[in-house]
Structure 1
C-alpha cells in the first residue's frame, strides 16, 4: 500500500512539473491506448467469429456466379474491411496529435520563462528552471506517446489489410 502511495505521489509530482498541457497529453494517450487495446481484442478474439459468419453466409448461397451474388460478395468483404478498420483513423489522428500537444506545452513553458524574466528583470536561473521543465516535459511526453502509438497503429493497419485480403480469398466461388 505504501508503494502505491509513493507511486501516486511521484506521478502527481511529474504531472505538476509538466503543467496543464501534460494532463491533456496524458488523456489523449490514455484514449489512444484504450482504442488500441479494443482493436487488439477485436483482432485476436472477435474477428474470427465475424469471418466465420461471413464465410458461412457466402458458402450457404446456392448461386455464387451471378452479378447479384458478386455484389453480395463485395458487400461481405466491405463489411469485414470496415469492421477491421474501425477506429484506425481515430488512432492515427491521436498519434499525430500527441507531438502537437507537446509543442503546445513547449510554447506555454517558454511563455512562463519569459514572464519570469520580465518580472525579475534578469535571467535568474532558479526562477527560470520551472518554466524550462514545463517546456521540455510535455514535449518528451508527446513524443513518447506518439512513438508508442505509431508502431501499434501501423501493425493494426497492416493486419487489417492482410485480413481483408484473406477474407476476400476465402469468399471465392466454389464449383
Structure 2
C-alpha cells in the first residue's frame, strides 16, 4: 500500500512539474472549490432538512396562519432558509469561473517561457521549447477540467436547493 501511495505521489509531482507553478494554483483553487461544494452537499442533506422541519413545526404551532402578518412571517422564514442554503454558492461559482482564467494564466506564462528559450537558445532547441509548451498546455487543460467538474456539481447543488426550498414552501400552507 505504501509503495502504491509513493507511486501515486510521484505521478502527481511529475504532472505538476510539467505544468509549472501555475498548476499548483489551479490545484489550490480546485481543492477550495471542492471543500465548499462538499460542505454545501453536507448541509443540504443533513442540516437543512432538520431546519426545515423546525420551520414547519413553528408554522403549524401558530394559531393564526391566514393574516397578512402571518404571511409576512412565512415569507421571512422561507427567505431565511433560502439565504442559509445559498450561503457559499457565490464563492463556489466564482471559483468555478476562476479555474479557466488561472489555466489561461498558465498558458501565458508557458508561452513566455517558450519565447524566452527562443530568444536565448534560438529556434533550434526543440527540447527546451517543449518544456515551455507543456507549461502552457497543462494548466489550461487542468483549469478547464476543474471548471467542468465545478459547473456540473454546482448546477446539481443549485437544483437540489431549489427542490428543497419548494418542498419547504409546499409544507407551509397559507390560506
Aligned residue pairs total 174
Structure 2 gaps of 5+ residues are none
Shift of 1:173: 2.9
Alpha-carbon RMSD across the aligned residues, in angstroms, is 1.1
Structure 2 residue aligned with 1:108: 109
Q: Deviations over 1:105-133 (max 9, x none)?
A: 00000000000000012242111010000
> What TM-score do the two structures reach when normalised by structure 2?
0.96
Confirm or deny: 8 A CA contact 2:71 2:174 kept in the other structure: no
Partners of 2:80 and 2:17 in 1: CA distance: 46
Shift of 1:7: 1.1
Confirm or deny: 8 A CA contact 2:29 2:99 kept in the other structure: yes
Structure 2 residue aligned with 1:144: 145
Runs of 4+ in 1 over 6 A off after TM superposition: none
Structure 2 residue aligned with 1:128: 129
Structure 2 residue aligned with 1:18: 19
Alignment of 1:149-164 (within 5 A): 149-164=150-165
Partners of 2:89 and 2:149 in 1: CA distance: 15
SS at the partner of 1:86? coil
Partners of 2:22 and 2:53 in 1: CA distance: 45
Structure 2 residue aligned with 1:41: 42
Shift of 1:84: 1.5
Structure 1 gaps of 5+ residues are none
Q: Deviations over 1:135-172 (max 9, x none)?
A: 00000000000001101111111111121122111111
Structure 2 residue aligned with 1:66: 67
> What TM-score do the two structures reach when normalised by structure 1?
0.96
Partners of 1:160 and 1:82 in 2: CA distance: 11
Alignment of 1:49-88 (within 5 A): 49-88=50-89
